[in-house]
Protein backbone atom coordinates (compact mmCIF):
# COMPACT_ATOMS: atom_id res chain seq x y z
CA UNK A 1 0.00 0.00 0.00
CA UNK A 2 2.80 2.40 0.89
CA UNK A 3 4.71 1.57 -2.31
CA UNK A 4 1.62 2.30 -4.44
CA UNK A 5 1.14 5.72 -2.72
CA UNK A 6 4.79 6.66 -3.34
CA UNK A 7 4.46 5.75 -7.02
CA UNK A 8 1.26 7.79 -7.35
CA UNK A 9 2.81 10.89 -5.71
CA UNK A 10 5.90 10.61 -7.91
CA UNK A 11 3.74 10.42 -11.04
CA UNK A 12 1.73 13.46 -9.93
CA UNK A 13 4.91 15.44 -9.30
CA UNK A 14 6.19 14.60 -12.79
CA UNK A 15 2.91 15.75 -14.39
CA UNK A 16 2.79 19.05 -12.45
CA UNK A 17 6.46 19.72 -13.22
CA UNK A 18 5.79 19.20 -16.92
CA UNK A 19 2.83 21.63 -16.85
CA UNK A 20 4.70 24.41 -15.03
CA UNK A 21 7.75 23.89 -17.17
CA UNK A 22 5.72 24.20 -20.37
CA UNK A 23 4.12 27.42 -19.04
CA UNK A 24 7.50 28.89 -18.11
CA UNK A 25 8.87 28.03 -21.56
CA UNK A 26 5.89 29.76 -23.22
CA UNK A 27 6.37 32.89 -21.10
CA UNK A 28 10.04 32.90 -21.99
CA UNK A 29 9.29 32.64 -25.72
CA UNK A 30 6.74 35.46 -25.50
CA UNK A 31 9.18 37.63 -23.57
CA UNK A 32 11.85 37.02 -26.19
CA UNK A 33 9.38 37.86 -28.97
CA UNK A 34 8.68 41.31 -27.52
CA UNK A 35 12.28 42.04 -26.65
CA UNK A 36 12.08 40.98 -22.99
CA UNK A 37 9.91 43.97 -21.83
CA UNK A 38 6.30 43.95 -20.58
CA UNK A 39 3.84 45.95 -22.72
CA UNK A 40 3.05 49.49 -21.46
CA UNK A 41 0.01 49.71 -19.18
CA UNK A 42 -2.94 51.72 -20.50
CA UNK A 43 -4.25 54.46 -18.17
CA UNK A 44 -6.32 57.61 -18.22
CA UNK A 45 -4.76 60.90 -17.17
CA UNK A 46 -5.57 64.59 -16.84
CA UNK A 47 -3.85 67.82 -15.95
CA UNK A 48 -4.28 69.03 -12.37
CA UNK A 49 -6.34 72.23 -12.27
CA UNK A 50 -6.31 75.29 -10.02
CA UNK A 51 -9.95 76.20 -9.40
CA UNK A 52 -12.09 78.45 -7.26
CA UNK A 53 -13.20 76.34 -4.30
CA UNK A 54 -16.25 76.80 -2.12
CA UNK A 55 -15.48 75.01 1.17
CA UNK A 56 -18.43 73.60 3.07
CA UNK A 57 -19.19 71.88 6.35
CA UNK A 58 -21.44 68.91 5.59
CA UNK A 59 -23.96 67.37 7.96
CA UNK A 60 -27.18 65.42 8.04
CA UNK A 61 -30.21 67.21 9.45
CA UNK A 62 -33.98 67.13 9.73
CA UNK A 63 -36.68 69.70 9.13
CA UNK A 64 -39.28 70.93 11.58
CA UNK A 65 -41.88 73.66 11.53
CA UNK A 66 -41.34 76.95 13.33
CA UNK A 67 -44.76 76.23 14.83
CA UNK A 68 -46.20 72.74 14.67
CA UNK A 69 -48.70 71.12 17.03
CA UNK A 70 -51.38 68.50 17.30
CA UNK A 71 -54.53 70.49 18.05
CA UNK A 72 -56.45 68.82 20.88
CA UNK A 73 -59.56 69.48 22.94
CA UNK A 74 -59.29 70.37 26.61
CA UNK A 75 -62.85 69.30 27.37
CA UNK A 76 -64.90 66.23 26.48
CA UNK A 77 -67.93 66.66 24.29
CA UNK A 78 -69.88 65.82 21.15
CA UNK A 79 -68.57 67.15 17.81
CA UNK A 80 -71.35 69.48 16.63
CA UNK A 81 -69.62 71.31 13.74
CA UNK A 82 -66.46 70.91 11.65
CA UNK A 83 -65.27 74.12 9.95
CA UNK A 84 -62.14 73.02 8.05
CA UNK A 85 -61.04 70.57 5.38
CA UNK A 86 -58.00 68.33 5.57
CA UNK A 87 -54.97 69.91 3.93
CA UNK A 88 -56.29 73.46 3.74
CA UNK A 89 -54.59 76.60 5.04
CA UNK A 90 -56.21 78.14 8.11
CA UNK A 91 -55.76 81.50 9.78
CA UNK A 92 -54.85 82.19 13.37
CA UNK A 93 -57.89 81.85 15.72
CA UNK A 94 -60.00 80.37 12.92
CA UNK A 95 -62.70 78.03 14.26
CA UNK A 96 -61.83 74.40 13.47
CA UNK A 97 -64.28 72.31 15.46
CA UNK A 98 -67.26 73.23 17.60
CA UNK A 99 -68.27 70.88 20.41
CA UNK A 100 -71.87 70.83 21.54
CA UNK A 101 -72.30 73.60 24.14
CA UNK A 102 -76.07 74.15 24.41
CA UNK A 103 -76.23 73.24 28.15
CA UNK A 104 -73.37 75.63 28.88
CA UNK A 105 -75.02 78.36 26.80
CA UNK A 106 -78.28 77.91 28.72
CA UNK A 107 -76.49 78.13 32.05
CA UNK A 108 -74.63 81.23 30.88
CA UNK A 109 -77.93 82.89 29.94
CA UNK A 110 -79.26 82.11 33.41
CA UNK A 111 -76.18 83.58 35.05
CA UNK A 112 -76.39 86.73 32.94
CA UNK A 113 -80.01 87.19 34.07
CA UNK A 114 -78.95 86.75 37.69
CA UNK A 115 -76.14 89.24 37.19
CA UNK A 116 -78.57 91.79 35.79
CA UNK A 117 -80.96 91.32 38.74
CA UNK A 118 -78.12 91.44 41.29
CA UNK A 119 -76.81 94.62 39.68
CA UNK A 120 -80.21 96.33 39.98
CA UNK A 121 -80.43 95.27 43.64
CA UNK A 122 -76.95 96.60 44.34
CA UNK A 123 -77.77 99.94 42.72
CA UNK A 124 -81.01 100.15 44.71
CA UNK A 125 -79.12 99.39 47.94
CA UNK A 126 -76.63 102.13 47.12
CA UNK A 127 -79.48 104.66 46.84
CA UNK A 128 -81.06 103.47 50.10
CA UNK A 129 -77.75 103.64 51.92
CA UNK A 130 -77.35 107.29 50.93
CA UNK A 131 -80.62 108.04 52.70
CA UNK A 132 -79.51 105.95 55.70
CA UNK A 133 -82.35 103.47 55.14
CA UNK A 134 -80.00 100.45 55.18
CA UNK A 135 -76.55 99.81 56.60
CA UNK A 136 -73.27 99.89 54.76
CA UNK A 137 -72.88 96.16 55.50
CA UNK A 138 -76.00 95.33 53.46
CA UNK A 139 -74.60 97.27 50.49
CA UNK A 140 -71.34 95.32 50.69
CA UNK A 141 -73.24 92.03 50.75
CA UNK A 142 -75.12 93.02 47.60
CA UNK A 143 -71.86 94.01 45.94
CA UNK A 144 -70.25 90.68 46.91
CA UNK A 145 -73.20 88.73 45.54
CA UNK A 146 -72.99 90.64 42.24
CA UNK A 147 -69.24 89.99 41.93
CA UNK A 148 -69.74 86.29 42.62
CA UNK A 149 -72.36 85.97 39.88
CA UNK A 150 -70.13 87.84 37.43
CA UNK A 151 -67.26 85.43 38.19
CA UNK A 152 -69.56 82.44 37.60
CA UNK A 153 -70.63 83.95 34.29
CA UNK A 154 -67.00 84.45 33.24
CA UNK A 155 -66.19 80.86 34.22
CA UNK A 156 -69.11 79.60 32.17
CA UNK A 157 -68.04 81.72 29.19
CA UNK A 158 -64.51 80.25 29.45
CA UNK A 159 -66.00 76.73 29.33
CA UNK A 160 -67.96 77.66 26.21
CA UNK A 161 -64.82 79.15 24.62
CA UNK A 162 -62.92 75.93 25.26
CA UNK A 163 -65.56 73.99 23.36
CA UNK A 164 -64.82 76.13 20.30
CA UNK A 165 -61.48 74.65 19.14
CA UNK A 166 -59.53 77.27 17.20
CA UNK A 167 -56.21 77.37 15.33
CA UNK A 168 -53.46 78.65 17.67
CA UNK A 169 -51.54 80.05 14.67
CA UNK A 170 -51.78 80.25 10.90
CA UNK A 171 -50.73 77.08 9.12
CA UNK A 172 -51.72 74.06 7.07
CA UNK A 173 -54.16 71.60 8.62
CA UNK A 174 -53.36 67.92 8.33
CA UNK A 175 -55.76 65.00 8.01
CA UNK A 176 -58.87 65.36 10.21
CA UNK A 177 -58.96 62.88 13.10
CA UNK A 178 -62.60 63.33 14.25
CA UNK A 179 -66.02 62.99 12.64
CA UNK A 180 -69.25 64.91 12.96
CA UNK A 181 -71.35 63.59 15.84
CA UNK A 182 -68.44 61.76 17.46
CA UNK A 183 -67.95 61.97 21.22
CA UNK A 184 -64.38 63.01 22.03
CA UNK A 185 -62.66 62.86 25.39
CA UNK A 186 -60.39 65.53 26.83
CA UNK A 187 -56.97 65.51 25.17
CA UNK A 188 -58.24 63.89 21.97
CA UNK A 189 -56.19 64.81 18.88
CA UNK A 190 -58.29 66.80 16.40
CA UNK A 191 -55.80 67.61 13.63
CA UNK A 192 -52.11 68.36 13.05
CA UNK A 193 -51.34 72.02 12.30
CA UNK A 194 -48.01 73.00 10.75
CA UNK A 195 -46.65 76.43 9.82
CA UNK A 196 -44.68 75.56 6.67
CA UNK A 197 -43.00 78.85 5.79
CA UNK A 198 -40.31 79.15 6.92
CA UNK A 199 -39.02 75.79 8.16
CA UNK A 200 -36.18 75.08 10.55
CA UNK A 201 -33.38 72.63 9.75
CA UNK A 202 -31.56 71.18 12.74
CA UNK A 203 -28.18 69.44 12.47
CA UNK A 204 -25.01 68.86 14.47
CA UNK A 205 -21.36 69.66 13.76
CA UNK A 206 -18.21 68.36 15.51
CA UNK A 207 -16.95 70.70 18.20
CA UNK A 208 -13.75 71.27 16.20
CA UNK A 209 -15.74 72.88 13.36
CA UNK A 210 -18.04 75.11 15.37
CA UNK A 211 -15.56 78.00 15.32
CA UNK A 212 -16.20 78.32 11.57
CA UNK A 213 -19.97 78.81 12.02
CA UNK A 214 -21.80 81.97 12.97
CA UNK A 215 -25.34 83.33 12.84
CA UNK A 216 -26.39 84.58 9.42
CA UNK A 217 -24.14 82.13 7.57
CA UNK A 218 -25.58 80.62 4.38
CA UNK A 219 -26.76 77.01 4.54
CA UNK A 220 -27.74 74.90 1.51
CA UNK A 221 -30.29 72.14 2.05
CA UNK A 222 -31.07 69.23 -0.29
CA UNK A 223 -33.73 66.53 0.09
CA UNK A 224 -34.35 63.20 -1.63
CA UNK A 225 -37.78 64.43 -2.69
CA UNK A 226 -36.13 67.11 -4.89
CA UNK A 227 -32.87 65.52 -6.15
CA UNK A 228 -32.14 68.27 -8.71
CA UNK A 229 -32.78 71.20 -6.38
CA UNK A 230 -31.30 72.85 -3.36
CA UNK A 231 -32.80 75.29 -0.88
CA UNK A 232 -30.90 78.14 0.75
CA UNK A 233 -31.28 79.35 4.31
CA UNK A 234 -29.42 81.13 7.09
CA UNK A 235 -28.02 79.94 10.42
CA UNK A 236 -30.20 81.49 13.12
CA UNK A 237 -29.07 79.71 16.30
CA UNK A 238 -26.10 77.78 17.68
CA UNK A 239 -26.53 75.73 20.84
CA UNK A 240 -24.34 77.17 23.62
CA UNK A 241 -23.53 73.67 24.95
CA UNK A 242 -21.52 70.75 23.55
CA UNK A 243 -23.16 67.33 23.73
CA UNK A 244 -20.96 65.35 26.14
CA UNK A 245 -21.72 62.01 24.47
CA UNK A 246 -21.06 62.97 20.83
CA UNK A 247 -18.86 66.07 21.37
CA UNK A 248 -20.94 67.85 18.78
CA UNK A 249 -22.87 71.12 18.77
CA UNK A 250 -26.47 71.53 17.59
CA UNK A 251 -27.02 74.18 14.91
CA UNK A 252 -30.32 75.53 13.60
CA UNK A 253 -30.99 77.32 10.32
CA UNK A 254 -34.11 78.93 8.89
CA UNK A 255 -35.08 77.97 5.33
CA UNK A 256 -37.76 79.85 3.33
CA UNK A 257 -40.44 77.50 2.00
CA UNK A 258 -43.00 79.70 0.20
CA UNK A 259 -44.58 76.98 -1.95
CA UNK A 260 -44.42 74.26 0.74
CA UNK A 261 -42.10 71.93 -1.18
CA UNK A 262 -40.33 70.90 2.02
CA UNK A 263 -42.20 69.26 4.90
CA UNK A 264 -41.45 68.94 8.62
CA UNK A 265 -39.77 65.65 9.49
CA UNK A 266 -37.88 65.36 6.20
CA UNK A 267 -34.32 64.01 6.27
CA UNK A 268 -32.01 66.51 4.53
CA UNK A 269 -28.34 66.99 3.72
CA UNK A 270 -26.97 70.35 4.78
CA UNK A 271 -23.92 72.31 3.68
CA UNK A 272 -22.71 75.32 5.64
CA UNK A 273 -20.98 77.65 3.16
CA UNK A 274 -17.53 78.84 4.26
CA UNK A 275 -15.58 81.74 2.69
CA UNK A 276 -14.50 80.79 -0.88
CA UNK A 277 -10.84 80.14 -1.81
CA UNK A 278 -9.15 80.53 -5.19
CA UNK A 279 -6.27 78.65 -6.83
CA UNK A 280 -7.03 75.31 -5.15
CA UNK A 281 -5.40 72.35 -6.95
CA UNK A 282 -7.95 69.60 -7.59
CA UNK A 283 -8.06 66.09 -9.04
CA UNK A 284 -10.73 63.39 -9.37
CA UNK A 285 -10.87 61.23 -6.26
CA UNK A 286 -10.06 58.19 -8.43
CA UNK A 287 -6.55 59.58 -8.96
CA UNK A 288 -5.63 59.03 -5.30
CA UNK A 289 -4.05 55.73 -4.26
CA UNK A 290 -3.78 54.74 -0.61
CA UNK A 291 -1.36 52.65 1.38
CA UNK A 292 -0.41 52.46 5.08
CA UNK A 293 2.26 55.12 4.58
CA UNK A 294 0.00 57.78 3.06
CA UNK A 295 -1.70 58.86 -0.15
CA UNK A 296 0.04 59.08 -3.49
CA UNK A 297 -0.58 59.68 -7.19
CA UNK A 298 1.28 58.84 -10.39
CA UNK A 299 2.55 61.86 -12.31
CA UNK A 300 3.39 61.25 -15.98
CA UNK A 301 6.49 62.67 -17.62
CA UNK A 302 8.17 62.06 -20.96
CA UNK A 303 11.19 59.72 -20.86
CA UNK A 304 14.59 61.25 -20.19
CA UNK A 305 16.27 62.12 -23.44
CA UNK A 306 12.97 62.80 -25.19
CA UNK A 307 10.36 60.62 -26.78
CA UNK A 308 6.63 60.40 -27.22
CA UNK A 309 5.88 57.88 -24.47
CA UNK A 310 5.06 58.46 -20.83
CA UNK A 311 6.76 57.31 -17.64
CA UNK A 312 4.83 57.15 -14.34
CA UNK A 313 6.48 58.59 -11.22
CA UNK A 314 4.98 57.97 -7.80
CA UNK A 315 4.42 61.18 -5.83
CA UNK A 316 3.24 61.41 -2.22
CA UNK A 317 0.41 63.93 -1.75
CA UNK A 318 -1.49 65.53 1.10
CA UNK A 319 -5.21 65.79 0.42
CA UNK A 320 -7.85 68.14 1.82
CA UNK A 321 -11.59 68.55 1.48
CA UNK A 322 -13.76 66.81 -1.09
CA UNK A 323 -16.45 68.35 -3.28
CA UNK A 324 -18.58 66.00 -5.34
CA UNK A 325 -16.10 63.72 -7.14
CA UNK A 326 -13.23 66.21 -6.76
CA UNK A 327 -10.61 66.28 -4.01
CA UNK A 328 -8.33 69.09 -2.90
CA UNK A 329 -4.57 68.48 -3.24
CA UNK A 330 -2.73 70.55 -0.63
CA UNK A 331 0.77 69.26 -1.29
CA UNK A 332 2.63 67.18 -3.89
CA UNK A 333 0.97 68.23 -7.18
CA UNK A 334 1.17 71.53 -9.04
CA UNK A 335 -1.34 72.98 -11.50
CA UNK A 336 -0.65 71.48 -14.92
CA UNK A 337 0.93 68.22 -13.71
CA UNK A 338 -0.25 65.29 -15.85
CA UNK A 339 -1.70 62.81 -13.34
CA UNK A 340 -3.01 59.27 -13.81
CA UNK A 341 -6.74 59.14 -12.96
CA UNK A 342 -7.46 55.41 -13.48
CA UNK A 343 -5.33 52.29 -14.01
CA UNK A 344 -2.92 52.80 -11.10
CA UNK A 345 -3.13 49.18 -9.94
CA UNK A 346 -0.98 48.12 -12.90
CA UNK A 347 1.73 50.69 -12.22
CA UNK A 348 4.95 51.00 -10.29
CA UNK A 349 7.42 53.84 -10.02
CA UNK A 350 9.14 54.25 -13.39
CA UNK A 351 6.59 52.20 -15.35
CA UNK A 352 6.02 53.02 -19.01
CA UNK A 353 2.38 53.78 -19.82
CA UNK A 354 0.08 54.54 -22.71
CA UNK A 355 -2.63 57.18 -22.19
CA UNK A 356 -6.13 56.55 -23.50
CA UNK A 357 -8.62 59.25 -22.44
CA UNK A 358 -11.64 58.06 -24.37
CA UNK A 359 -13.39 57.38 -21.04
CA UNK A 360 -12.57 59.68 -18.12
CA UNK A 361 -13.74 59.35 -14.50
CA UNK A 362 -16.16 61.87 -12.99
CA UNK A 363 -14.59 65.19 -12.08
CA UNK A 364 -17.64 67.23 -11.09
CA UNK A 365 -18.22 69.39 -8.04
CA UNK A 366 -21.91 68.42 -8.12
CA UNK A 367 -22.13 65.00 -9.76
CA UNK A 368 -25.54 63.51 -10.62
CA UNK A 369 -25.44 59.69 -10.59
CA UNK A 370 -27.64 57.94 -13.17
CA UNK A 371 -29.86 56.46 -10.46
CA UNK A 372 -30.20 59.68 -8.47
- The pLDDT of residue 307: 66
Mention every residue, 6+ apart, whose C-beta is less than 8 A from residue 39: none
Decide if 270 contacts 221 (C-beta within 8 A): yes
Query: Which residue did the predictor score with more confidence, 157 or 369?
Result: 157
pLDDT at 64 > cutoff 60: yes
Query: Which residue did the predictor score with more confidence, 369 or 286?
Result: 286
Confidence of residue 13 (pLDDT cuts 50, 70, 90): low
φ/ψ (deg, to 5) at 39: -65, 150
User: Which of 184-188, 271-275, 307-311 is most confident?
Assistant: 184-188
User: Which of 10-19, 159-168, 362-371 is most confident?
Assistant: 159-168
What DSSP string describes 316-341? Answer: EEEEEEEETTEEEEEES--TT-EEEE
CATH topology of domain 57-65+200-273: Elongation Factor Tu (Ef-tu); domain 3 (2.40.30)
Identify the CATH assignment for 41-54+277-355 out of 1.10.3720.10, 2.40.420.20, 3.50.50.60, 1.10.10.60. Answer: 2.40.420.20
Q: Give the integer Cα–Cα distance in Å for 193 and 197.
A: 13
Q: Give the integer Cα–Cα distance in Å for 9 and 16.
A: 11
CA distance readout (Å), 320 to 53, 323, 328, 331, 362? 12, 10, 5, 9, 18
**What mean pLDDT do residues 278-285 have?**
84
**What mean pLDDT do residues 30-52 have?**
71
pLDDT tens, residue by residue, 319-337: 887 777 788 888 888 888 8
Q: Give the integer Cα–Cα distance in Å for 132 and 122.
A: 15
pLDDT tens, residue by residue, 164-216: 889 998 888 989 988 888 898 988 898 899 988 889 999 988 888 888 888 88
Domain spans of the chain, in order of start: 41-54+277-355, 57-65+200-273, 101-162
- The pLDDT of residue 200: 92
pLDDT tens, residue by residue, 104-144: 888 888 888 888 888 888 778 778 877 777 777 887 888 88
- The pLDDT of residue 369: 46
Amino acid sequence: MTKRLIVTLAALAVILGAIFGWKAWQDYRQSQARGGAAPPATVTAMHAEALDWQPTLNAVGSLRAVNGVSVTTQLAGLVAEIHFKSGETVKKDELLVQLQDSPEQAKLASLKAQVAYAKSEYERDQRLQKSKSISEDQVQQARSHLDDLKAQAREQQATIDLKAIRAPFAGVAGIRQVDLGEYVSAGRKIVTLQALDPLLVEFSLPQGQIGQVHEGQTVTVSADAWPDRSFEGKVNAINPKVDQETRSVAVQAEVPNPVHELLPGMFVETQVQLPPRSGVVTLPETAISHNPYGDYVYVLQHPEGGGDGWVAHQVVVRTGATRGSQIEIRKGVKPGDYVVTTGQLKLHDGATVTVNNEIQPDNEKNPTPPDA
